Amino acid sequence: MPTVSVVIPAFNCGQTVAEALKSVLAQTFHDFEIVVVDDGSQDNTAAGVRSAAPNAVYVRQENAGVSAARNHGIRIATGEYIAFLDADDVWDPHKLEKQVRVLDEEPEIALVCSDFSTASSEGSVEPSYLKHCRHARSGYVFDEVVQEYFILTSSVLVRRSCLAEVGGFDESLRVTEDRDLWLRICHRWKISLLTDPLVIKRNRPGNLSSDTGRAGSSRVKVFEKALRTLPDLSSRSRRLILDQLSANSCALGYDYFARFMMGEARQALRKSLTYRWTNGRAWLYLLACYLPVPMIRAIRRAKQAIL
């Protein structure tokens, strides 16, 4: 049985999956297996996997989303530790070596993740994501994960036993499914955050995570689920979750407002105020939703002219 199973979900990633696989094969730690779950690709993803990693376990499923693909990979995996890698991303050669050492030496740690670089489709690279984060740290970090996104799925190495206890990815969520799982893990265990950027994350136009409305709606579902299902939340944790619910419902309402979907905007903004009635931005846009659309357009044109 290998120490690590590397689970790679892939959907129409024929142009990138080979490079992702090569970054796994270049690891200085060698005791791993690779499990690729093809989520119903219609391109040359399968050929890319066969050419780059002919010994990888390759399975194909009907398109069911990234959560279902990762869960499929977890079920097939045989390793003590599970690593995730999206088919767009690549690893530093020392990634597994550094992270396996942490889990081997610190049994109280459930999950180890790392800083990461981001690369745009135009080719520009931001060398450190964490330098922009206020709350990222190691330890018991449930409240920090509520407040801020800093656990990148492609940077994660997690104990298989912990995944078995909390369950896998929520397949009803098409985006933000990772944050839901990290909240469940961080509610129970410590994590370790390595400050070395051990992953390059590629941001592509059209990624699900770039869909503002869908991402905002999914974040609301994630935080509502946390309030509903996680036991013994502290008063501070509950307050932070309510703050996030208000802020994300407000952002979703503004997204609808900007697209002149006033009925949906009013609903989201009212929801924001049920979580935090003091949210001034939500009040402002809720009132604006009742203005005539021609007046809103005129105000926008005037604002753009001033700016």
pLDDT at res. 208: 47
pLDDT at res. 62: 96
Type of residue at 70:
R
pLDDT at res. 214: 74
pLDDT at res. 305: 82
Kindly list the distances between the CA atom of residue 229 and the CA atoms of 63, 208, 290, in Å, as whole numbers in the listed order: 28, 26, 36
Pairing state between β 81-84 and 57-60: unpaired
pLDDT at res. 307: 67
- Asked if residues 66 and 38 have their Cβ atoms less than 8 Å apart, the reply is no
Domain ranges of the chain: 4-206, 211-306
CATH 3.30.360.10 fits 4-206, yes or no: no
pLDDT at res. 124: 87
Give me 155's structure tokens. Answer: 């940077």
Terminal Cα-to-Cα distance of the chain (whole angstroms): 61
pLDDT at res. 51: 95
CATH 1.10.150 fits 211-306, yes or no: no
Kindly list the distances between the CA atom of residue 172 and the CA atoms of 103, 178, 221, 225, in Å, as whole numbers in the listed order: 30, 12, 10, 12
Q: Which residues of the chain have pLDDT under 50?
A: 208-210
Rounded-to-integer distance, Cα 245 and Cα 187, Å? 18
pLDDT at res. 126: 93
pLDDT at res. 120: 86
